[in-house]
Amino acid sequence: MRKGNWENEFKRTIGGKNVTVYFNPPDSEQGLPLMYKFEVDGVPYRGEHRLDGTWNQKVIMDCIERMLDL
């Protein structure tokens, strides 16, 4: 999935599924918004996602768990 300029990634396992998250840190000093995309077991999931507000890996994974209904 590494298309475009996605600088960072991390991997987690949630609900027995392997999730790889690709993201770019925001350019602005305020850090808003964070754009990210992810794969579940190697399959891209619905394009890019936006996260406004304070973010870290746990916040991103909480959002992904809600999207996947885990």
Q: Tell me the per-residue pLDDT of 20-67, one tens digit each, with 9 for 90 and over.
A: 999 987 665 555 688 899 999 999 998 899 888 778 899 999 999 999
Q: Is residue 34 a part of any domain in this protein?
A: yes
Instruction: Count up the domains in the chain and report the number.
Output: 1
Three-state secondary-structure class, residue 50? strand
In a domain, 2, yes or no: no
Beta-sheet pairing, 34-40 with 43-44: antiparallel
Give the residue carrying structure tokens 């298309």: 3
Full residue range of the structural domain in which residue 47 is found? 8-68
> Whole-angstrom Cα distance, residue 36 to residue 32?
12
Q: Does the residue 49 lie in any domain?
A: yes
The pTM score is: 0.79
1: in domain: no
The angle at the Cα of 65, spanning 64 to 66, to the nearest 5 degrees, equals 90
Q: How many CB atoms lie within 10 A of CB 58?
A: 9
